[in-house]
Copies of this chain bind each other. A is one copy, B any other.
Amino acid sequence: MTDVRVTGLSAANSVAAQRMAQADPVLVDVRPALAALPGMQPHMILTSGAPMPWSAYTGGQRRAIIGAAQYEGLASSAQDADARIAAGDILVRACHDHGCVGSVTGVTSASMPVLVVEDRNSGTCGHCLVYEGPARQRLTYGVWNDAVRDQLLHVRDVIGPALGAAVRAIGGLALKPIMRRALGMGDDLHSRNVAATSIFYQRMAVPLLTTPGSSDVALEVLRFLEKSELFFLHVGMASGKATADTARDVAGSSIVTAMVVSEREFAIRVGGTGDTWFRAPLPPLEAKLFEGFTPDDLAFMGGESLIMETIGLGGMAAAAAFSLQDYSGGTPAAMIATNEQMYTITETEHPEFKIPFLGFRGTPLGIDVAKVVTTGVTPAIHMGAAHRDGGHIGAGLLRAPLEPFQEAVAALHDAAVA
């Protein structure tokens, strides 16, 4: 370990963390994935997590991928979709390799509208699907049926285009001021986005209403936003991707640039090792479930909203969001303790994202795999909980497994001595 710390990583880490700290994410457009995402193809379906062979997808993530194939008209049935994917006629790829991050299953196909966020400092872009709506059952949570199809069509045909037009009309919406402010209003910007969504609503209402087009559509978008408390999560995630990717090409950096889960694995990427995934089996999720559900109902089906922790939010800002007690469980004392622990594994403190309870101390920013390994403290991650048959059934706290961090340190060490 010591070798890693003394071979110039600290300068690289400082660069990586500073790039993330200085990022200026701006929502510039909402466009179909095919038009927006680098390398996207009509017969490609993106999904969360470090990629696995198709046969390894057996649960909600598989259901959502097969659903998307049908939704896009790439397959006539679930069986047909399965065969075409197995044959390589439909490509299943990782969101992170196409400038994108996905919520839960993260399934993103060509016609679905994505939020386009640009870091105005570096030009780096990040993308994420537009939030699907507040229904418990959605493709994001591994459900595919007619109601889900209708939701997706509504977002594709109404919500996405109207938001895109309004955002273009105002020349982009700066997101950092919204995120900074929402942290002062009890959001962690991962499991809780009610303040950010509310501010987003306020900033976009007049642009939506004054952009040429049907005023009925503008009203429909406002009604959709009002009932979608987690809407901003996807905006924040696209912002997170644009921010974290600024640290992706810093040679020698031991700062985490992505954390993801699939149905089976937790995985991370680190600046100094580029696009290599360091993987481990999934740790348990300590979740608080909606009424009527039990821990037996839980299943993982992917997720890349961990990009929020990667940029110093979510579990890194737990002490900003005491209201999460009601939603994802835990006590204020535990949230504070967890949050303070995160300062021991991060490179710096965010200059703008601040925690009121901690006297406006900046959030812990830049997870350093070397510090994780030295301390044995792994990132605390806020995360939604999925039902094994699909559907959103709660939220909770995930503690990253140590192994991927150990493997990353070993790989950085090998690279440094090579």
Chain A 271-307 near chain B by CB (<8 Å), digits 1 or 0: 0000000000000000000000000000000000000
Instruction: Please report the C-alpha to C-alpha distance between residue A198 and residue B184 in the assembled complex, in whole angstroms.
Output: 14
Instruction: Please report the C-alpha to C-alpha distance between residue A323 and residue B180 in the assembled complex, in whole angstroms.
Output: 12
In the complex, A157 has a CB within 8 A of chain B: no
Instruction: Please report the C-alpha to C-alpha distance between residue A105 and residue B133 in the assembled complex, in whole angstroms.
Output: 46
Which of B215, B219, B331, B359 contacts A331 (CB under 8 A)? B359
Instruction: Please report the C-alpha to C-alpha distance between residue A205 and residue B215 in the assembled complex, in whole angstroms.
Output: 13
Q: Which of under 10, 10 to 19, 20 to 34, or 35 or more describes the interface residues of A?
A: 20 to 34
A225, closest chain B residue (CB) = B202
- Chain B residues contacting A186 (CB-CB under 8 Å) are 184-186, 195, 356
In the complex, A57 has a CB within 8 A of chain B: no
- Chain B residues contacting A194 (CB-CB under 8 Å) are 181, 185
Let me know if A359 and B201 touch, CB within 8 A: no
For residue A278, give the distance in angstroms from its CB to the closest CB of chain B: 36
Let me know if B184 and A357 touch, CB within 8 A: no
In the complex, A329 has a CB within 8 A of chain B: no
For residue A130, give the distance in angstroms from its CB to the closest CB of chain B: 19
Give the 5 A-B CB pairs with smallest separation, nearest first.
Answer: A322-B356, A184-B323, A198-B198, A323-B356, A185-B186
Enumerate 16 A-B pairs (CB-CB under 8 Å) in ascending A order: A184-B323, A184-B326, A185-B195, A186-B356, A195-B195, A198-B198, A198-B201, A202-B225, A205-B226, A206-B219, A206-B226, A209-B219, A210-B219, A215-B215, A326-B360, A357-B357
Residues of A within 8 A of B (CB): 181, 184-186, 194-195, 198-199, 201-203, 205-206, 209-210, 215, 219, 222-223, 225-226, 322-323, 325-326, 331-332, 356-360
